[in-house]
Amino acid sequence: MTVSESAPDLGRTTWAIAEGYIPGQSHGPAPEMESHEAACMLNVGPREAHVAITIYFEDREPAGPYPVVVPPRRTLHLRFNELTDPEPIPRDTGYASVIRSDAPIVIQHTRLDSRQAENALLSTIAYPGPQ
Amino acid sequence: MTVSESAPDLGRTTWAIAEGYIPGQSHGPAPEMESHEAACMLNVGPREAHVAITIYFEDREPAGPYPVVVPPRRTLHLRFNELTDPEPIPRDTGYASVIRSDAPIVIQHTRLDSRQAENALLSTIAYPGPQ
Amino acid sequence: MTVSESAPDLGRTTWAIAEGYIPGQSHGPAPEMESHEAACMLNVGPREAHVAITIYFEDREPAGPYPVVVPPRRTLHLRFNELTDPEPIPRDTGYASVIRSDAPIVIQHTRLDSRQAENALLSTIAYPGPQ
Amino acid sequence: MTVSESAPDLGRTTWAIAEGYIPGQSHGPAPEMESHEAACMLNVGPREAHVAITIYFEDREPAGPYPVVVPPRRTLHLRFNELTDPEPIPRDTGYASVIRSDAPIVIQHTRLDSRQAENALLSTIAYPGPQ
């Protein structure tokens, strides 16, 4: 039994991350210590996962979808501050995200905040929607 | 298919956050670096979500409900220290919260603690109650 | 409808926290800034929750049960370093915990680590067992 | 009723951690303050849990399986940087992990990051797969 056959359905096709914030300032050498917000995606299945990210704001209509591909048997640590098409995500602004995929994936949300001299970390498994 | 039609039911109508604590002291420029405790709410649906927050304490009856509205297709990053009606939440006091909504929402709990010179972060998806 | 009647069943009766560690050293004024590991419990129901905590180790049989009571409509922010009966939890030692209750509760795990000059925080909703 | 009989089925047999990163540099005395990434596993059941860890990367095929045993009624705080067979996990590289067990276990993901002078912590219950 290969790795890809052993867990073809691990994960969900819809995920939500209600917290989002990209600080405008960083301390420390880039890119390792640049403030960033990431969605870590894992696709253990045998097919490419075609992912669409929608960004929600407090005072305007949603942005997106931002298309992303996660290859089979791969992880993708996507930094929200690298999303530019259809538009960059504004800094120092609260947002939230919904992530949809055509194949099951697992998503974990992580933030490195280096606005002050020492960095801070947060992480949580995202909210899994219905199958 | 519009964004609002594509995920009308993402989330739950009852959520719990068992950890709560607003430090009485902060370091750093306000409001970005002020110590705060937040409930990040996401409403991807096509209708307003009418939300009621109840605050539980260790040694007295609950406070609330605190009414909040999350517009359709919007996120709201609610800071607990900005709640004042029916009463402000006391500082340096442990509390917990239950959040009920008349439409499905997703809630993530985040805390920035800047009591000492450097900040610390925590975050977790809240506990989802029954549908 | 009173608060207690509106959510009599919120939560679970079994929870697990796989990560546990009480540092032996602290920086900062006690007790606010003392390193601690906490299980924040919320009982929104109308009855007392009688809770039993069992502590698991890497190299010996489990300790406990440690009995705790969470009153109705109350939260309890329990610090593991205050548990002394039947035995204190050793410092600088990895452990895990299982928490059982005779009424539904919600549990969130939090740690303040002040071994170095600046504090760090972590938090996550605990793992809910079967109903 | 003994502890082992009271909760024979607590947990799941498949877990995913989508976020993984072992920093190449540390500050502070080793091993307590060495940067590390850990999977805290809890086996409350009466039998040994035979665990297999598979590591997923962004740009190559998965590594593993890494075999681990969690004894009955024990926790194991496994540091990913101590895994060496079949190969060590590269530093400063994003990865993800899937953990399978032949008995139910609970897994919590924790990271201590001490690349800068002060440490940071993150933790989250891992994503539970199907039973």
Summarised one tens digit per residue, pLDDT across range D19-56 is 888 877 655 555 554 567 889 999 999 999 999 999 99
CA distance D7 to chain B (A): 22
Most distant pair of Cα atoms in chain C: their distance: 50
CB within 8 Å: C113 and D119: yes
Cα separation of A19 and B110, whole Å? 8
Residue matched to tokens 């055509």? A102
Which tokens go with D89?
């996990």
Asked if residue C84 lies in contact with residue C100, where contact means CB atoms within 8 angstroms, the answer is no
- Kindly state whether C14 is in contact with chain D, defined as any CB-CB distance less than 8 angstroms: yes
Residue matched to tokens 């670096």? B33
Q: What is the pLDDT of residue D25?
A: 64
Which residues, in sequence order, are CB contacts of C13 under 8 Å at separation 6+? Answer: C100, C101, C102, C103, C104, C105, C129, C131
Q: Predicted confidence band at C106 (pLDDT cuts at 50, 70, 90)? A: very high
Q: Of D18, D62, D118, which is closest to A41 when you measure between CB atoms? A: D18
Q: What is the pLDDT of residue C63?
A: 97
Q: Which of A47-56, C91-100, D83-92, D112-121 has the lowest mean pLDDT?
A: D112-121
**Chain A residues within 8 A of B76 when measuring between CB atoms:** 58
Asked if residue B60 lies in contact with residue C71, where contact means CB atoms within 8 angstroms, the answer is no
Could you tell me which chain A residue has the CA closest to the CA of B6?
Answer: A100
- Kindly state whether A10 is in contact with chain D, defined as any CB-CB distance less than 8 angstroms: yes
* pLDDT tens per residue, range C15-54: 999 988 887 765 555 555 456 788 999 999 999 999 999 9
Whole-model pTM: value is 0.88
Could you tell me which chain D residue has the CA closest to the CA of B118?
Answer: D118
Could you tell me which chain D residue has the CA closest to the CA of C64?
Answer: D3
- Burial class of residue B29 in the structure, from the number of CB atoms within 10 Å of its CB (0-12 exposed, 13-18 middle, 19+ buried): exposed
For C39, other C-beta atoms within 10 Å of its C-beta total 24
Q: What is the pLDDT of residue C35?
A: 61
Helix H or strand E encompassing A4: helix A3-6
- Kindly state whether D130 is in contact with chain A, defined as any CB-CB distance less than 8 angstroms: yes
Is D115's pLDDT higher than 60?
A: no
Q: Contact partners of C by the rule of 3+ C-beta pairs under 8 A?
A: A, B, D
Interface test with A, best of B6, B42, B109 (most A CBs within 10 A): B42
Which residues of chain C from 82 to 121 reach within 8 Å of chain A, CB to CB?
A: 118, 120
- Kindly state whether B59 is in contact with chain C, defined as any CB-CB distance less than 8 angstroms: yes
pLDDT averaged over every residue in chain A: 82
SS3 for chain D, per residue?
CCHHHHCCCCCEEEEEECCCCCCCCCCCCCCCCCCEEEEEEEECCCCCEEEEEEEEECCCCCEEEEEEEECCCEEEEEEHHHCCCCCCCCCCCCEEEEEEEEEEEEEEEEEEECCCCCCEEEEEECEECCC
Q: What is the pLDDT of residue B129?
A: 80
**Residue A55 region, left (φ>0) first, then alpha (ψ -120 to 50), else beta?**
beta
Interface test with D, best of A15, A51, A125, A131 (most D CBs within 10 A): A125
- Kindly state whether A56 is in contact with chain B, defined as any CB-CB distance less than 8 angstroms: yes
Is D112's pLDDT higher than 80?
A: no
Cα separation of B100 and B112, whole Å? 24
CB within 8 Å: D19 and A28: no
- Burial class of residue D13 in the structure, from the number of CB atoms within 10 Å of its CB (0-12 exposed, 13-18 middle, 19+ buried): middle
* pLDDT tens per residue, range D97-107: 999 999 999 99
Q: What is the pLDDT of residue D113?
A: 52
Q: Of D100, D121, D126, which is closest to A125 when you measure between CB atoms? A: D126
Q: What is the pLDDT of residue A110?
A: 84
Residues D67-103 as b or e (16 or more Cβ within 10 Å = b): ebebeebbbbbbebbebeeeeebeeeebbbbbbbbeb
Q: D118 pairs with which residues across the strands?
A: none
CB within 8 Å: D124 and B124: yes
Could you tell me which chain A residue has the CA closest to the CA of B28?
Answer: A116
* pLDDT tens per residue, range A47-96: 999 999 999 999 999 999 999 999 999 999 999 989 999 999 998 889 99
- Kindly state whether B74 is in contact with chain A, defined as any CB-CB distance less than 8 angstroms: yes
- State whether residue A3 is helix, strand or coil: helix
Both ends of chain D: CA-CA distance in Å? 25
**Chain C residues within 8 A of B130 when measuring between CB atoms:** 9-10
- Kindly state whether B122 is in contact with chain C, defined as any CB-CB distance less than 8 angstroms: yes
Omega before A104 cis (within 30°)? no
Low-confidence ranges of chain B (pLDDT < 50): 1-5, 7, 33, 115-120
